[in-house]
Amino acid sequence: MIKKVKAVWSLMQAGKMVKDPALWKTRQITSSVIVGFIWTAINAAEVFGVSVPVNAEIVDGFAVALLAVINFVLTITTTEKIGLQAKPGTDAQP
For residue 91, the cross-strand partners are none
In this structure, is residue 32 part of a structural domain? yes
Q: Is 43 part of a structural domain of the chain? A: yes
Q: Is 17 exposed, middle or buried (0-12, 13-18, 19+ CB in 10 A)?
A: buried
In a domain, 28, yes or no: yes
Domain containing 66: what range?
Answer: 18-77
What is the pTM assigned to this prediction? 0.66
Answer whether residue 63 is part of any domain.
yes
In a domain, 85, yes or no: no
Residues 4-16, mean pLDDT to the nearest whole number: 79
Q: What percent of the chain has pLDDT over 90?
A: 9
pLDDT the model gives residue 33:
92
Q: According to the model, what pLDDT value does residue 16 have?
A: 81
- Cβ atoms of 18 and 24 within 8 Å: the answer is yes
Residue 66 lies in a domain: yes
Give how far Cα 63 sits from Cα of 10, 11, 43, 68, 71, Å. Answer: 26, 24, 12, 9, 12
How many domains does the chain fold into?
Answer: 1
Which one has a higher pLDDT value, 63 or 85? 63
